[in-house]
Chains A and B, each alone.
Chain A
Amino acid sequence: MSARLLAGAATRIAPTFDQHLALYGPLETHDDLIGAVEQAGLRGRGGGAFPTAAKLRAVAEAGGRPVVVANAVEGEPASGKDHALLRVAPHLVLDGAVLASRALGARDAVVAITDRTGRERATIEAAIAQRKRRDGRVRLRTAAVPNRFVAGEETALVRALAGRDAKPSLKPPYPFERGVDGAPTLVSNAETLAHVALIARFGAEWFRGVGAPDSPGTALITLGGAVAQPGVHEIELGSPLDRALDQAGGVTGRTQAILVGGYFGRWVTPADASKLRLTPDVLGAGAIVVLPAEVCAVAECARVLAYLADESAGQCGPCVHGLRAIADTVSAPGKSNRRPRLEQLAALVAGRGACRHPDGAAVFLRSALDVFADEFAQHAKRRQCSRRDVRVLPLPTRRR
């Protein structure tokens, strides 16, 4: 499969606007962008896998003067694809934001980032400056939001852009009806907009030329853990997990399990790796981590669950209390075998917050209880875990 989003990656990073146009061709306004995106079957790449055309239509039909937000916040620590995309092909993301703006009648397009490295905002501002007045009436700008897990949730992002705290609000209203400055707002993942930019140039048929009929196109994944070539890769959607791992040089050593979909995702056994098809709803934001055999799965899951509890926005009782109870139960010596209690907690938190943070944690927990059932049972009996405590699942190291 030839790379699409990462086509320029081999030769350079941070291409200029002219280098970008030389690689991908000119940027022309599409006369039915939403129709083309609908035919292409593009689904969001930020984790929700929502049909992009449906979102575009909802904003278009809401009336008023819409705003476009390219969401490159990427709060998930195990995911680096949006940051990589903004380094390797920033103009694809900007093209997509401009094209969506033209299709929706928006004048303002914001690229939202967290500025993890401190240089990112400057890099994107430089890319925007290179485009000068070639985007017509659409004004591009950047905005930096705090690097928190929930900051990329669409309502949290809308609030952060209004200068308030990056915490989710209750839906409805959805951003497509009332978002930035009360205007109908398209909040779209950066990678999704990059695909829009390619669909506008090459068409829906071209887009569907790779991938599967039920999952057309390509997607970026972030591969971590025990693989030969960790990092961001571009894969064909619908392909099995083991093929994606082979694309990264294969796994190194013996694999215990593979996390697919980041910290709201599910664990997969090595035996199931050839059977699991990587479709948008399975991938989430595309973070995949291979857990080697010698690492303690319970300790790794405990670290993630403690992180998810810490990253609660703190607004909803069931999330605040429930995720803390889950984290404490899994971490406490001798308690990790309390599967009925953990299952009960998972059921208590799901669907009872303003956003999907507790639901995601519940999915991760349930999957861990299933795949690592023996480990959870055994771990509680031992005072010391016999496996090495190497930290494989990436988490921020700072303490608050």
Chain B
Amino acid sequence: MKILRVDPIACDGRGLCAELMPERIALDEWGFPIVDSTPLSSSLERHAARAVAACPMLALRLESLDSIGGRTTARVRRR
């Protein structure tokens, strides 16, 4: 199962993520993402991967929840 997570230090509030992934990402009044970390269905994963690839700051990450609740970060390849 994958989840979305943002690195708040790398994030610059550009907002592309919220445009591409409104199902999970909204913007606060200052333009910074509020990320819903609910696990993604396989149909949403494709959209999430696109949003991750679109972030100019590489701040958005797709992470795997492993069986014991730990997380590993997968970098998404740009095609």
Contact = CB atoms under 8 A, between A and B. Distances in A.
Contact of B30 (A169, A317, A353): A317
Nearest to B6: A352
B30 A316 contact: no
A318 to B, nearest CB: 5
Nearest to B28: A348
Interface in B1-54: 7-9, 11-13, 28-32, 34
A172 B31 CA distance: 25
Interface residues of A, number: 14
A170 B13 CA distance: 17
Nearest to A167: B9
Contacts of B34: 348, 352
B9 A318 contact: no
Contacts of B31: 317
A315 B8 contact: yes
A321 interface: yes
A315 B7 CA distance: 10
A138 interface: no
B7 A317 contact: no
Interface residues of B, number: 13
A219 to B, nearest CB: 32
A354 interface: yes
Judged by DSSP, the binding face of B is loop
B8 A353 contact: yes
A374 to B, nearest CB: 28
B9 A169 contact: yes
Contacts of B29: 321, 348
Contacts of B12: 317
Contacts of A348: 28-29, 34
A354 B9 contact: yes
Contacts of B8: 170, 315-319, 352-354
A354 B71 CA distance: 16
A318 B13 CA distance: 10
Contact of B9 (A172, A316, A322): A316
Contact of A170 (B7, B28, B32, B71): B7
Judged by DSSP, the binding face of A is loop
A169 B71 CA distance: 17
A172 B5 CA distance: 12
Nearest to B13: A317
Interface in A293-335: 315-319, 321-322
A361 to B, nearest CB: 15
A170 B58 CA distance: 14
A354 B29 CA distance: 19
B22 to A, nearest CB: 18
B14 to A, nearest CB: 11
A172 B7 CA distance: 11
Nearest to A344: B29
A88 to B, nearest CB: 38
Interface in A333-384: 348, 352-354
Contacts of A315: 8-9
Contacts of A317: 8, 11-13, 30-32
A257 B14 CA distance: 43
Contacts of A353: 8
Nearest to B7: A170
A318 B7 contact: no
Most buried by A among B7, B31, B32: B32
Nearest to B11: A317
Nearest to A315: B9
A348 B32 CA distance: 10
A351 to B, nearest CB: 10
A353 B30 CA distance: 14
22 contacts: A169-B9, A170-B8, A170-B9, A315-B8, A315-B9, A316-B9, A317-B8, A317-B12, A317-B13, A317-B31, A318-B8, A318-B28, A318-B30, A321-B30, A322-B30, A348-B28, A348-B29, A352-B8, A352-B32, A353-B8, A354-B8, A354-B9
Interface of B: 7-9, 11-13, 28-32, 34, 71
Closest 3 CB pairs of A and B: A317-B32, A316-B8, A321-B30
Given A316-B11, A348-B28, A348-B29, 6 more contacts: A170-B9, A317-B13, A319-B8, A321-B32, A322-B30, A348-B34
